[in-house]
Amino acid sequence: MISLTKVLATCSPFLWAISSTNAFTSQPPPRTASRVLVGGIEEPRTTTRCFAKKNSADMTDEEREVAMDKALKAMTAFSNKYTTNTGTYYCEDKGIPAVVIKGLAEHKVTLGTPLCPCRFYEDKEKEAKEGYWNCPCAPMRERHECHCMLFLTEENGELCNV
């Protein structure tokens, strides 16, 4: 079991990006595949790219570290942009979004897509292909309900912010 302290230490370079609205703005815009309805507003659906050029189980430690670094940056940039586009925000305790973003990045490397890290899956590969729980998940896109508490709204923000 990984301790929260270890996760936060791993994510600490990215905590500044979570609180910065202009983080990673030099990145090219994401590719779009189609448009989806998000909270009554039509938005482009971002396609996901696999950062692992080969099976993550076959990666060396150095290749995995590079892939994780790239995925953490991408997931942080995605999360920052998503909060801006949807009017949502992060929990005041930056450790919560840091852990969720790290989980999304790990799934991006191992599965090729940011599968929600806050759920149990009997078959992660199958769930990743189906896309329902790929971030932003269907409940978030349709009703602005993020059970991970990564994207907060006025209705559920008091649950996290004390």
Q: Any idea which residues carry the catalytic annotation?
A: 118
Burial status of residue 123 (CB atoms within 10 A of its CB: 0-12, 13-18, 19 or more):
exposed
